[in-house]
Structure 1
């Protein structure tokens, strides 16, 4: 009998370890590298961004990461800033992704499409699957005064901004933006597909949803109404607010990662371990470490 229970315990342990191995993976996250050859402003040390990115990549490369993602504002301004910072990004040993930030469009109008190409983005918003997760990368500049690149999108931007301007929303700022109706429809399709395939959902965006402050996406209420019926939505990771923030609502973890470019002598980035029921964030420098429980 003892032998039976011992074999049962070993079997359950092997099964559990195998299950964890099948669902576990680790990634790297950086936000607001925001390089330009510019003087210090708002405690942002733009010229120090390359050495900070280089340091982060050296640390990230010590792990076997499934991928690394930058959460927007890779540059602060000027198209030529990419020539300095992209070769460093290219030293990552893991696959990599970019989220578009508002400052990524602080270039000449004629070069805005080129920024998207240089960041190796075939689409401005997209998704990818890793283990039992579907990651949805949003473009919060889809409707915006800096990132709307077609006449139709510019008209939609004006319409939405004018519709909301009497509501005294703290985040209705011209440096923020919104998700177009086309993007929201696409998101719904992605969520339905995730339900069908029994996948958890994580969102990446430059702009936050929670907490409410001057950094949020304009049509956050519309987005929240869309995701509310989907219990498989677990995380929303973003940048933009360089101070960082965290809030949990309806079992969704809304986490703003701190800006790498800020302060004279520190940096910010993280390694993130996804396990079956938890997400462990190993923060570096100013980025705090956290444990997020997935329900």
Structure 2
């Protein structure tokens, strides 16, 4: 009898271990906090951002989040803007990450590298793994007229911008930027790692890929050609276009999160839950809640 009970228990254990289980996780997302001690411009209420960030973090801290990420333009003008708002950001209970935006570099030339250091970034672009996802954080300011910090990158910026000038592109604006060949090669290596380790891929960037408008990253065609063979790419999340946007292309969800800084009386941020085949976006204030099916 004891032997029979032991065999039954062993069988139950084997069956339970053989079942594939998926442990969901949840994150926080904020875009374009863009604080500065500035007057209202373009329906951006810069002075309201500290309170909005504080309120968002109070809500995010009530949940058990694996991490929170800001999708660029944390500040607008001056290093003092960063000093004023970082203590609030640092009150997050979860791990936190930053994406570099164009306005983050709207500081003096001498302070551009210090911005990166103060945001606790070791690299301008990087990746990290959460469960069976590899998240790739891009630097859309790698080639740009405000975010470059070397003569070589300035030359590469001029070269890329000039090569696109005759194509009548709506997004060839000097407030946007592009990805260097070095970064594109690094992205390829990250995608190959994800394939080898059977990981789904989500991208974070400040600048959008879709839809095409005046906010889109300069060399989007290069990026799309690069990711096309990789069927494990599932998400591309970004800020920059404060109105927000969404487009599904080739089973990749391209989602632009709304800017926190915009409008007089409302904010915008989100919690995002990753399940086995679904990503749930829980929007707060102006941010829209969505259900994204992962195929």
Question: Which TM-score band (shorter chain)?
Answer: over 0.9
After superposing on structure 2, the runs of 4+ consecutive aligned residues of structure 1 that deviate more than 3 Å are 13-18
What does 1:125-164 correspond to in 2, within 5 Å? 125-164=125-164
Change in 2 beyond 3 A, CA 1:14/1:241: farther
Quote the Cα distance in structure 1 between the aligned partners of 2:71 and 2:147. Answer: 16
Pairwise CA distance, 1:14: 6.5
Structure 1 residue 83 displacement after superposition: 1.1
Q: Aligned-pair distance for 1:148?
A: 1.1
CA gap of 1:97–1:294, structure 2 versus 1, over 3 A, is same
Q: Which runs of 5+ in 2 are unaligned?
A: 1-11
Tell me how far apart the structure 2 counterparts of residues 237 and 80 of structure 1 sit (CA, whole Å): 28
Question: Does the alignment pair 1:235 with 2:225?
Answer: no
* Residue of structure 1 in register with 2:173 after alignment: 173
Q: Does 1:37 align with 2:16?
A: no
Residue 53 of structure 2 is aligned to residue 53 of structure 1: yes
Structure 2 match to 1:102: 102
Residues 154, 274 of structure 1: CA spacing in aligned structure 2 closer, same or farther, 3 A cutoff?
same
Q: Secondary structure at the residue paired with 2:53?
A: helix
Partner deviation per Cα, 1:42-85 (whole Å, 9 max, x = no partner): 00000000000000000000000000000000001111101110
Partner of 1:246: 246
Aligned to 2:67: 67
Which residue number corresponds to residue 21 of structure 2? 19
1:294/1:49 Cα in 2 relative to 1: closer, same or farther (>3 Å)? same
SS across alignment from 2:187: helix
Task: Give the equivalent residue in structure 2 for 1:277.
Answer: 277
Answer yes or no: is 1:289 the counterpart of 2:289: yes
Q: How many residues align?
A: 285
User: What residue ranges of structure 1 are gaps of 5+ in the alignment?
Assistant: 1-9
